Chains A and B, each alone.
Chain A
Amino acid sequence: MRTHKLEQSGNWWERLLPSGQGDRAQERGIFGFTTFLLSETMVFASFFVAYLYLRHQTTNWLPPGVPRMELTRPAINTAVLLGSSFVIYFAEHALKHHQIRKFRWLWLTTSVMGTFFLVGQMQEWKGLSFGLNTGLFGATFYLLTGFHGLHVFTGICLQFIMFIRSFIPGNYRIGHFGVTVTALFWHFVDIIWIILFSLLYLWQA
């Protein structure tokens, strides 16, 4: 493809998002994925708003006979999930510096931590004294945690695929689009959990 020397427009946004199609598939992909995450944020936002709306309208949020939820186990789960966000950051960092062994090791640790969180939440679900049909309280709780859990599961699947792909020789030498995107997704899942944990567990009054 021929390149053209053309005067760039002086607007700041033109400099930020310049035109031209060059070999920028990776940046394009990350941009596209970010728009997807924004859209996904809106799904969660709609659930959060629904939750707040319903909670605001209801006088006795905690149905009679249901005890307050224990905080210890979810707090440990939360800490593990949050920690995994740092681990995945270092994994990505290692890959950027071509330390593929270190990358694999840290990457796997993230998945293990994610699985720990999922299994922990499942046990948490089993131990609860209320169900999906225990009023709005139960319905919103299971919907929100379940929907988030689905995302954690998706994240772990993505991590697994990227892990396998790291064994294809030379695969991650040029770019690591999939790794970046998976890490982004993982941070997203983490941030959502912080909000969920505050709404569902910390704010029980």
Chain B
Amino acid sequence: MLIRAELVTPELNLVNRSFYNSLFTMHGTIMIFLWIIPSLSGLANYLVPLMIGARDMAFPRLNAMAFWIVPPAGLLLLSSFFLPGGSAQSGWWSYPPLSIQNPSGNILNGQLFWILAIILLGISSIMTAINFVTTIVWMRAPGMTFFRMPIFVWTVLSAQILQLFFLPSLTGGLILLLFDLCFGTPFFRPSKGGDPILYQHMFWFYSHPTVYVWALPAFGIFSEIIPAFSRNPLFGYRSVAVASLGIALFSALVWVHHMFTSGTPNWMRMLFMLTTMLVAVPTGVKVLAWTATLWRSKLHLETPMLFALAGVVMFLFAGITGVMLGAVPFDLHVNNTHFIVGHFHYIVYNTITVAIFGAIYFWFPKITGRMYAEGWGKIHFWLTLIAANLTFFPLFPLGLQGMVRRISSYNPEYAKWNFIASLGGFLLGISILPFIANIVSSWLRGIPATNNPWRATGLEWITTSPPPRENFAEIPAVNFPPYSYGQPQAWAGENSPQE
């Protein structure tokens, strides 16, 4: 909100430039590493064992360790605001040579804290990834074959495989950056023969796939909510499951599209333009499947479904602008403008965060054993929908007009759209209030929920709400396909496993 407040007017009048740099750097870092990744890991941590019929994750102690790394790392990151030189200011990419400047001259500086915090969070993420992959491969209930797993589990599996193989490259890059910053090594210093482009490769080799680490579970959430509220089996289950792996695979081969203007040779640009467009294929499969699931169905428009539907539509928007950006000629024009910021926020807020809201409403009865207040949920939804589009849509025209990102003052001709976006930003801040109020009061005083309030399929719904400490009184046996909506023989909602 402070960022948008500064951008209400073209002139610089609220914060000074370097504090503005700190703000957008920390905003990006905190939202990515301390909001999206932990909240999705937490959700998956709760749901995956339930969905595959396991009592817990494969390595509970490792799980606890991974969790308890996060708060100290977060504190480390936040404490850098109080350092004499302020926090890191080089954006969430921390590109050298900017990130190895250390203007304050202190040994303890914001950039160092930033690097250490991200390395710690990376270690935590690797622990989590090991745990998820092992859990999904080894802990499935009897009869829960791979092609009987809910899509959410498939997407978590794909996302965590990505973490496992690609996060190390960021860690490697950050270790080199740390050496450059603290010990004066020349890895990324052009003056001593190093090459800052190398960092960009190491950074994006992870940081592009990481977008899918966040987006895939969001797709999984859509795939759970949409069939449940349209009372139809998920269309093309196998294709959607395999598409998750497909997205993971393709996303690993596109990282240079972030570097079209980094002196990248033409053949490389063409190659990565092609691979970028290819990602649209498996994602298109998913969008088609969700749409086809809705076909000729009886829609129940409760809050989770509203969030899921809005999320899919806005994801389409984000995806299409993504394909536009993947095209080299277009990218050269809008590179480093608000168009990118708009595209990115349509993914991270309007798709992923919206999906997380939907998931919280959907599984709230299961987690707390109480129902949320439907009316307040709907108010939250409409406020979010309006505010989010009001905030992030203006960034597209601004980008096309050429407004560069990461600046605290701008030319007066951009004032109109910026004003709208700032208005939306404040509304977005307000829109979270009914959500918090609803969650807190429903958790304390809500109507007790039944085991399966949505009459959904999936193993998590046969146990009690909230589940007992070990998830199931008795491990269920599975002998039916997933999403068997409208097929009475497969699911009667009873508590006993079928033999």
Contacts and interface: CB of A to CB of B under 8 A. Distances in A.
Contact of B172 (A43, A133, A135): A43
Interface residues of A, number: 42
B202 A46 contact: yes
A13 interface: yes
A99 interface: no
Contacts of B146: 11, 13-14
B477 A4 contact: yes
Contacts of B62: 32
Interface in A24-53: 24, 27-29, 31-32, 35-36, 38-40, 42-43, 45-47, 50, 53
Contacts of B186: 133, 135-136, 139
A72 interface: no
Interface residues on B, range: 35 or more
Contacts of A20: 140-142
Nearest to B167: A39
A133 B137 contact: no
A17 interface: yes
Interface string B111-151: 00000000000000010011101100111111111110000
Contacts of B267: none
A24 B198 CA distance: 43
A204 interface: no
B247 interface: no
Contact of B141 (A21, A143, A147): A21
A46 B34 CA distance: 25
Interface string B217-235: 0000000000000000000
A36 B54 contact: no
A171 interface: no
Contact of A9 (B141, B145, B477): B145
Contacts of A57: 195
Interface of B: 54-55, 58-59, 62, 126, 129-131, 133-134, 137-147, 164-169, 171-173, 175-176, 179, 183-187, 192-195, 198, 201-202, 205, 474-475, 477, 479, 497, 499
Q: Can you list the 4 inter-chain pairs with the closest CB atoms, starting with the nearest?
A: A46-B172, A42-B168, A19-B140, A43-B168
Interface of A: 1-4, 6, 9, 11, 13-14, 17, 19-21, 24, 27-29, 31-32, 35-36, 38-40, 42-43, 45-47, 50, 53-54, 57-58, 132-133, 135-136, 139-140, 143, 147
21 contacts: A11-B145, A11-B146, A19-B142, A20-B140, A20-B142, A21-B141, A28-B139, A31-B138, A32-B58, A32-B133, A39-B167, A42-B164, A42-B167, A42-B168, A43-B171, A43-B172, A46-B172, A46-B202, A46-B205, A54-B187, A54-B194
